[in-house]
Amino acid sequence: MSGFSYGFTVTQRAKSVKQPRGGYLKPKSFVAVSLGEGLDELNPVENVPASLVGMSVDYLSRFLSGTRLEEAFKPSLKGSVVSHHAEEADRLLRGVTGLDDASITNAVKLTGFDVCFRVGPQLYKPVEEIQPDTSTIENIRVMVNRTLHFLDVYGPKILDGFTFEGGYSDVIVNGDGDFLTADTLWDLKVSKNPIKKEHTLQLLMYWRMGLRSVHPEFRNVRYLGIYNPRLNVASRIEVSQIPDDVIDAVEKDVIGYAE
């Protein structure tokens, strides 16, 4: 496998690899369905980084759809250990009980530890400086409720926050997925923008890695999907529609599986 770089996360690899024109898995090939009110019904300005808003929506949705709190915020808790702030993170975690203002504020602060786990403690910024305002809190509450409705429509979930033991390669060494329902692998994207080819490649990588992982549930996947609670749109493609040569190219040239 000469010519490969090593040690990527799924997201890093999806962003860095050169794709064919239009992408390996073209965003326009996904069928989009609106689940109700979208971007126009949200407050236009948020005062914390979009990445923290996205993780807060994701983790709160996992918790409020039945996952244990410690599991839902597992990456954040791991980051707090790396940055030697485990006691502070535990206090914040105990303050997450639902979708009241205090719970959402604590959840957003908690996600400030994620970067320590995903990138490194050198990027840690004091989480006490993260103070979501009313507009941000309201948006997170609406988007979590939208995600819970989405899971009512397309779920229930059978896995969330899963990793891919058995499916990693020398090239891809880390990465975790969002939601798996009975027949669909879902990625959550909290963005104002339409689906990008980096998003669809990431999803395709998750599927192929999942099939080699310790999770037998991936054998039942018939669709790949992206749900965006900011736009309130669910987009899916049947895996039977994905050409074999595209799957082969992604497995070999992107993930780095041997022949």
Report pLDDT digits (tens) over 222-242.
999 999 999 999 999 999 999
153 with 252, same domain: the answer is yes
Domain endpoint, select from 97, 132, 167: 132
Does residue 218 sit in the same domain as residue 247?
yes
**Tens of pLDDT along 24-50?**
999 999 999 999 999 999 999 999 999
Q: For residues 258 and 141, what is the distance between their CA atoms, to the nearest angstrom?
A: 44
Work out the mean pLDDT of the chain and round it to a whole number: 95
Q: Are residues 115 and 159 part of one domain?
A: no
Q: Which stretch of 1-15, 99-113, 201-215 has the lowest confidence by average pLDDT?
A: 1-15
Confirm whether 138 is domain-assigned. Answer: no
For residue 123, what pLDDT band results from cuts at 50, 70 and 90?
confident
Measured CA to CA, the distance from residue 161 to residue 141 in angstroms comes to: 20
Domain housing 63: 48-132
Helix (H, G, I), strand (E, B) or coil at 55: helix
Q: Is residue 137 part of a domain?
A: no
For residues 255 and 194, membership in a common domain is answered with: yes
Q: Give all strands (DSSP E) within the chain, no chain letters.
A: 8-9, 31-34, 157-160, 172-174, 179-181, 184-188, 223-228, 233-238
Task: Let me know: does 121 contact 78? Beta carbons within 8 Å.
Answer: no
CA distances from 99 to 95, 102, 128, 145 (A): 11, 8, 20, 9
Contact 184, 236 (CB under 8 A): yes
